[in-house]
Amino acid sequence: MPNQPLVIDDFSEAGNDAAAWSVFTDRVMGGVSTAGATLELIAGRRALHLRGSVSLERNGGFVQVARPLGRGSVPFDARAYAGLALDVCGTPGTYFVHLRTAQTRAPWQHYRAELSMRPVWTTVTVPWSVFTPQGLGTPLDVSALTRLGIVGAQTAFEADVAVARVGVVP
């Protein structure tokens, strides 16, 4: 195990324009949730700010901002790390971190961990062991991570979450 964290994204860095991140909603499956993400100064920190309205209408129920992991078609191998660390703040709601791997082929397949949210900046550590498979029966393979998502889901609410830094930790 390395003894140093590895930063995946730090929005305080000059030139980080969040181009790797994309917004997705349940509209891809016929839902009606809406969302957008911008880079903003939130409580003194430059951050990626996801805001959206999570609706359960028409079998919907999620808003998400996500980025690829790895380089090109080569997944990110995170076996040398114990989990994720995220600097986040936001309004209360039902939030998750989603991971996709080389084995998650269908759009609804992912690995999910709850993401605690407070209205002040907090560093949240999420060990690999708490990620549970959704839509598939295999455990998380951290040697083949392909995408990371921050998600508001499962209940109708106004999602409002900011992410200042994302990384992996020993």
Task: Output the 3-class SS for 6-29.
Answer: EEEEECCCCCCCCCCCEEEEHHHH
- Residue 29: what pLDDT? 86
With beta carbons less than 8 A apart as the criterion, state whether 45 and 163 touch. Answer: no
Res. 2 pLDDT band, cuts 50 70 90 = low
pLDDT at residue 38 is higher than 80: yes
Give the separation between CA 58 and CA 30, rounded to whole angstroms: 7
Residue with tokens 């999420």: 126
Give the separation between CA 24 and CA 36, rounded to whole angstroms: 9
Classify domain 6-169 by CATH architecture. Sandwich (2.60)
Helix (H) or strand (E) run with residue 149 in it: strand 145-153
- Residue 72: what pLDDT? 87
- Residue 15: what pLDDT? 86
pLDDT in tens, 134-152: 999 999 999 999 999 999 9
The structural domains of the chain, with segments of one domain joined by +, span 6-169
What's the distance, Cα to Cα, between the start and end of the chain in Å?
6
**CA-CA distances (angstroms) from residue 152 to 10, 15, 123, 125, 157?**
21, 27, 18, 18, 8
Task: Map residue 137 onto helix, strand or coil.
Answer: coil
Q: Residue 138 has what DSSP assignment?
A: S
* Side-chain half-sphere exposure of 136, counting CA atoms within 13 A: 21
Task: Map residue 54 onto helix, strand or coil.
Answer: strand
- Whole-model pTM? 0.94
Mean pLDDT score, 95-123: 96
Task: Map residue 103 onto helix, strand or coil.
Answer: coil
pLDDT at residue 79 is higher than 60: yes
Q: What are phi and psi of 20, to 5 degrees?
A: -75, -15
pLDDT at residue 1 is higher than 60: no
pLDDT in tens, 39-72: 999 999 999 999 999 999 998 899 999 999 999 8
